[in-house]
């Protein structure tokens, strides 16, 4: 199936959605809240409409799960062999803060495993993508794709850890303390959205722990980008992350080299 997906076409889709996001981002905008109190802007819905329309037109036989679209019932979803997992604006809190650290995430899931992922940063016109078995790539604005690799921890040098800007908690602090006990010096920096997966994938960080709630569409694209770059993405007990579950909430996980 991945052979039938045109990554350049997907890049066109996310750039178009990114343009719609930036039109709103660069002006005054209203913020509403969903039932779970998470923020929602017109940018979320505008991006979602573009992505859903584009993907369903290009790949009509692949169903989708999107944060901003009513979910198909599990009674039907459980029989899907392939599906898209879409977050049209990952990091709405970062969007509202105007720090640029928000992304568009698209992943193709095959029987609960991501086989293709694309993470796009509209503010930078920067993309990261991966295809199962073919590696991870970074595409800077106007440039050709370049393969990226996770960077191993080097003896005597600090362990770089990326933690969430908006979801830091005691479990995360405890995990970082255990890293310090094991490796000595640990440098902790923050980033919003799926960018943290990409930072590990391109060797700018060694570890990204997540011990707070998030959803499958938050993690799937970044998951395969990190994994194809050579990192591990597992639950704290070593179990794999799976997708298109009955409950779309993601478990705690750690991305590490």
| pLDDT band, residue 40 (cuts 50/70/90) | low
pLDDT of 17 above 80: yes
d(CA 143, CA 108) in angstroms, rounded, equals 24
Q: Do 114 and 185 fall within a single domain? A: no
Interatomic CA distance for residues 57 and 163, integer angstroms:
37
Task: Give the pLDDT confidence of 147-180 residue by residue, as tens digits.
Answer: 999 999 998 899 999 876 666 788 988 999 999 9
Rounded to the nearest integer, the mean pLDDT of the chain is 93
pTM: 0.94
Whether residue 213 lies inside any domain: the answer is yes
> Do 127 and 190 fall into the same domain?
no
Whole-number percent of the chain with pLDDT over 70: 96
Q: Please give the average per-residue pLDDT across 190-205, as a whole number.
A: 92
pLDDT at 38: 64
Domain that residue 231 falls in = 159-256
- What's the CA gap between 6 and 97, in Å, rounded? 34
- Total number of domains constituting the chain: 2
Asked whether residue 140 falls in the same domain as residue 180, the answer is: no
Residues 18 and 137 in one domain: yes
Distances (CA, A) of 193 to 102, 145, 197: 6, 22, 9
> How far is the C-alpha of 86 from the C-alpha of 216, rounded, in Å?
9
pLDDT in tens, 130-148: 999 999 999 999 999 999 9
CB-neighbour burial class of residue 22 (10 A; exposed 0-12, middle 13-18, buried 19+)? middle
pLDDT given at position 166: 62
Q: Is residue 154 part of a domain?
A: no
What is residue 218's predicted lDDT score, i.e. its pLDDT? Answer: 96
Q: Is the per-residue pLDDT at 36 higher than 90?
A: no
Read off φ and ψ for residue 127, nearest 5 degrees: -130, 150
Task: Confirm whether 182 is domain-assigned.
Answer: yes
Predicted confidence at residue 257, as pLDDT, reads 95
Report, as an integer, the average pLDDT of 179-198. 90
**Of 148, 176, 206, which residue constitutes the final position of a domain?**
148
Same domain, 26 and 134: yes
Q: If you count them, how many residues does the chain have? A: 257
Question: Rounded distance, CA 169 to CA 167, Å?
Answer: 6
Domain of 68, CATH number, reads: 3.30.540.10
The answer to whether residues 101 and 208 belong to one domain is no
Do 104 and 184 belong to one domain? no
């Amino acid at each position: 199936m991945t052979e039938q997906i045109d990554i350049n076409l997907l890049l066109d889709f996310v750039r178009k959605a990114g343009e719609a996001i930036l039109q709103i981002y660069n002006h005054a905008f209203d913020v509403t809240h969903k039932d779970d109190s998470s923020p929602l802007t017109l940018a979320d819905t505008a991006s979602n409409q573009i992505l859903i329309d584009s993907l369903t037109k290009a790949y009509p036989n692949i169903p989708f799960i999107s944060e901003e679209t009513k979910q198909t019932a599990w009674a039907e979803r459980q029989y899907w062999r392939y599906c898209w997992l879409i977050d049209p604006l990952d990091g709405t809190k970062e969007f509202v803060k105007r720090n640029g650290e928000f992304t568009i995430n698209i992943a193709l899931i095959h029987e609960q495993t991501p086989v293709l992922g694309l993470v796009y940063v509209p503010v930078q016109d920067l993309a990261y993508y991966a295809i199962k078995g073919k590696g991870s790539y970074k595409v800077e604005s106007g440039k050709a794709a370049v393969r990226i690799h996770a960077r191993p921890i080097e003896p005597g040098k600090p362990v770089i850890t990326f933690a969430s800007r908006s979801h830091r908690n005691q479990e995360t602090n405890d995990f970082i303390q255990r890293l310090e006990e094991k490796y000595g010096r640990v440098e902790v920096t923050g980033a919003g959205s799926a960018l943290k997966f990409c930072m590990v994938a391109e060797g700018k960080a060694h570890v990204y722990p997540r011990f707070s709630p998030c959803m499958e569409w938050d993690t799937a694209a970044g998951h395969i980008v990190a994994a194809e770059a050579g990192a591990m993405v597992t639950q704290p007990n070593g179990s794999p992350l799976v997708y298109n579950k009955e409950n779309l909430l993601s478990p705690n996980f750690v991305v590490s080299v």
